A and B are shown apart, each in its own frame.
Chain A
Amino acid sequence: MKAIRTLTLAATTSLAALLAAGSAGAVEIEYWQYIFDARITAMDKLIANFQAANPGITVKQSTFPYADYRTKVAAAIPAGEGPDVVQLFYGWLNDYVQADLIQPLPESTFPAARIEAEFFPMVQAMKIDGQYMALPTAVRSLALFYNTRLFAEAGITAPPATLAEMVEIAQKLTKKDGAGNITSEGITSGMTAQDHQWLREVLFRQFGAVPYTDDYRTVTYNTPEGAAALAFYTSLEQTLGVTSSTFMDEPQAAFKAGRAGMHIDGSFRIGALRDTRGLEWAVAELPAGPDGTQSNYASYWVNAITTKAEGEKYDAAVKFMDYITSDEAMQIWLETVGELPAKPSAALTPANIADPVYGPFIKGLGYGHATIFADETGQRQVLVDAVSRIFLQGQSPANSLAAAAAAEQALLDGYYKK
């Protein structure tokens, strides 16, 4: 019995020694993201380039279904397993930091001043107590998709530059049947799609309201200007009749089917629209507000170094982070995934700006805002309900907005209460 135990012990020790010897020359770090085919392909390309440049380091990519992702990360890192570099949605940063799952990026390689000089301003949401916790490779913004065939039919030559033009064009494009039911929309609408972002970061600002304080912990859109923005949004359906939020189930479905003249959506929609046969479309910047204000909503996925990475793995992880936030990596990401570079130096190249599809999105990044969400679904629901109260219960925009502000503030207070 004892002999067997000794033998096992010896075998284990020698095996461990063997493994340690094998890994002495090469460091292997692990990268985790959720399953999204184009991103996995892009990351494979980045890893290949990185490994070619850093022969001592190998990067292993693991992917998980979106639904399990958070639980897996949460379970693995405290156990000393799992990723050294991890991808997360920017809105989750707070949770990850508080749970001690990720560590700050080293000031030596990622000085705050350099990040602020090089990246688009919205990336500053990743700074906690003066330290950057995570950085994106790519960002997404909103733009106006429009159906060129419907535009040509109606004799419209250029996309709208302002909200007033947008309304005018939408009225020309709307088609109705004899009973007054919409058969083709001027512009799509749906608070549950991207419209809540459009309202929150774009329309509020264009009508002169500031949606939140700088730390996004206090709601400040409950003003006459905010109510005017909401009234403008709901008037598209209620008084102007150029849209219907329930038309064809989902706004993007209506646009894809060629039954809508204009559609506001994110850069992530480009791929799906390209695959739609027979649809002729183009992209323009979001229309400017009454006083010419331009605004946009940007969101992104970031990469961060986890608390699991220590010693040589940490050093390798820093090098890897440095590479995947480089201009070269961002261009590869744009070409493979269609998501926009997070730095002006990579995004605002003459070729990218001139690109008819990416150009408007990239221009939007310059004036984009990234909402710091405490609970994106909950905060979306607040604005969805604000519009529902106006449509279904006849509430005035001012009252509905006041109720929404109170509900969202309660949500934020509950989240930040510690």
Chain B
Amino acid sequence: MKYYRNLSISQKQVVWAWTFLALPVLFYVVIRFAPTANAILLSFQKWNLLGAREWVGLDNYVKLYNDPVFWKVFRNTFVYLILGTPASLVISFFIAYHLDKTRFLHSTLRALYFLPFLTSTVAMAWVWRWFYQPVPIGLFNNFIASMGFQQIAFLNSTTNALPAILVPAVWAGLGFQIIIFMAGLRAIPTSYYEAARIDGVSNWTTLWEITLPLLKPTIVFLVVFSSISFLRIFDQVFNMTTNNPGGPLNSTKPLVLMIYQTAFSSFDMGYAAAQTVVLFAVLLTVSLVQLRLMRDR
């Protein structure tokens, strides 16, 4: 007690700050950092959930490097990212930009776009799975067949399956991105637009020179947010292809699904942990690179 009394005001502030911080710090250490460290440790071990862990050094990483399925899955993960992120951003910006100018039924339309985001991913994935079925039950194929065309193998195909799964994933994320974009659009001071109008600038130039540059913080946030969500894609893929998780010949399998199967079907926890460490490194790198690139030059 005496020790505390002798501290200066700023030192006392530090003591109090740490007292209050202790709980969240403890929480993060126990709930986040300790398991993360444990997973990294586990990636150097062999463990089948039963029995003792066994030290195997870099074996899991060597196995990963030599596993053709891993590289296929690694590629798929980036295809989800590279197709999904730009597509979802462009579509959601387009909708938000026009919705922002619409007065008629504005709130209703906004709510309609937001609705898919509130729906359970699992339910949505199963509905889309049904859409994609062949005749006689699939919605899309029944329509295609009734028009007299050949059926399309949406999910049972090595080329169509990944885009077929990406479509509902993009659609489901639109609502959230539209809302964020609209908030960003509303935050741009109208004086800029007034000045542009007085100068007689075209709509296109206004969009290109005023709206987009001033939306940059919003875009940075959404790019990082949506990249992470595409790199972590799982629910849609798993639920739309439960019969053969990851699609025919792993055509749709993302890294997270491979981790799940390695851990909880094959019970190869060490190998799964090594995959997790790779995913962690990828997410970290992608996020850091994006934040740096999109920062103010």
Give A contacts to B, CB under 8 Å: 67, 70-71, 73-74, 95-96, 98-101, 177, 179, 181, 183, 190-193, 244-250, 259, 375, 377-378, 384-385, 388-389, 391-393, 414
Interface flag for B50 (CB, 8 Å): yes
6 shortest A-B CB distances, which residue pairs? Answer: A99-B51, A99-B50, A377-B265, A192-B243, A388-B248, A74-B50
The listed residue (A67, A70, A183, A248) touching B49 by CB distance below 8 A is A70
Which residues of chain B in 122-148 are interfacial with respect to chain A, using CB atoms and an 8 Å cutoff? 129-130, 133-137, 145, 148
Chain B positions 232 through 268: 1 when the CB is less than 8 Å from some CB of chain A, otherwise 0: 0000000000011000110000000000010011110
Q: Which residues of B contact A392 (CB under 8 A)?
A: 156-158, 248-249
Total interface residues in chain B, CB < 8 Å: 31
**Do the beta carbons of B50 and A70 come within 8 Å of each other?**
yes
**Do the beta carbons of B249 and A181 come within 8 Å of each other?**
no
The listed residue (A100, A246, A378, A389) touching B153 by CB distance below 8 A is A246
Q: Which residues of A contact B148 (CB under 8 A)?
A: 179
Interface flag for B48 (CB, 8 Å): yes
Question: A192 and B244 in contact (CB under 8 A), knowing A179-B148, A246-B133?
Answer: yes
**Do the beta carbons of B51 and A100 come within 8 Å of each other?**
yes
Measured CB to CB, the nearest residue on chain A to B159 is: A392
Q: Which residues of B contact A389 (CB under 8 A)?
A: 249
Tell me the complex Cα distance, A244–B137, Å: 13
Interface flag for B151 (CB, 8 Å): yes
The listed residue (B50, B130, B153) touching A95 by CB distance below 8 A is B50
Q: Which residues of A contact B249 (CB under 8 A)?
A: 385, 388-389, 392-393
**Do the beta carbons of B266 and A377 come within 8 Å of each other?**
yes
Q: Which residues of A contact B155 (CB under 8 A)?
A: 246
Question: A181 and B134 in contact (CB under 8 A), knowing A384-B244, A392-B249?
Answer: yes
The listed residue (B134, B145, B157) touching A247 by CB distance below 8 A is B134
**Minimum Cβ distance to chain B for residue A224 (Å):** 25
Measured CB to CB, the nearest residue on chain A to B268 is: A375
**Do the beta carbons of B145 and A246 come within 8 Å of each other?**
no
B contacts with A: majority SS: loop
Question: A249 and B248 in contact (CB under 8 A), knowing A95-B267, A181-B145, A378-B266?
Answer: no
Tell me the complex Cα distance, A372–B167, Å: 41
**Do the beta carbons of A190 and B243 come within 8 Å of each other?**
yes
Tell me the complex Cα distance, A250–B134, Å: 12
Q: Which residues of A contact B145 (CB under 8 A)?
A: 177, 179, 181
Which residues of chain B in 94-143 are interfacial with respect to chain A, using CB atoms and an 8 Å cutoff? 129-130, 133-137
Task: Jot down 30 A-B pairs with beta carbons below 8 A, ordered by A.
Answer: A70-B49, A70-B50, A73-B50, A95-B50, A96-B50, A98-B50, A98-B51, A99-B51, A99-B52, A177-B135, A177-B136, A179-B148, A181-B136, A244-B134, A245-B156, A246-B156, A247-B134, A248-B136, A249-B129, A249-B130, A249-B243, A259-B136, A375-B265, A385-B248, A388-B244, A388-B248, A388-B249, A391-B156, A392-B249, A393-B249
Max count, chain A CB within 10 A of own CB: residue among B130, B134, B151, B261: B134
Tell me the complex Cα distance, A393–B134, Å: 19
Measured CB to CB, the nearest residue on chain A to B250 is: A385
Measured CB to CB, the nearest residue on chain B to A375 is: B266
The listed residue (A95, A192, A250, A388) touching B48 by CB distance below 8 A is A95
Measured CB to CB, the nearest residue on chain A to B157 is: A392
Which residues of chain B in 200-250 are interfacial with respect to chain A, using CB atoms and an 8 Å cutoff? 243-244, 248-249
**Do the beta carbons of B133 and A248 come within 8 Å of each other?**
yes
Question: A249 and B133 in contact (CB under 8 A), knowing A192-B244, A377-B265?
Answer: yes
Tell me the complex Cα distance, A99–B54, Å: 12
Measured CB to CB, the nearest residue on chain A to B130 is: A249
Tell me the complex Cα distance, A249–B137, Å: 9
Q: Which residues of A contact B51 (CB under 8 A)?
A: 74, 95, 98-101
Tell me the complex Cα distance, A73–B49, Å: 10
Which residues of chain B in 36-70 are interfacial with respect to chain A, using CB atoms and an 8 Å cutoff? 48-52, 63
Tell me the complex Cα distance, A132–B51, Å: 20
Max count, chain B CB within 10 A of own CB: residue among A71, A375, A388: A388
Q: Which residues of A contact B265 (CB under 8 A)?
A: 375, 377-378
Q: Which residues of A contact B134 (CB under 8 A)?
A: 181, 244, 246-247
Q: Which residues of B contact A385 (CB under 8 A)?
A: 248-249
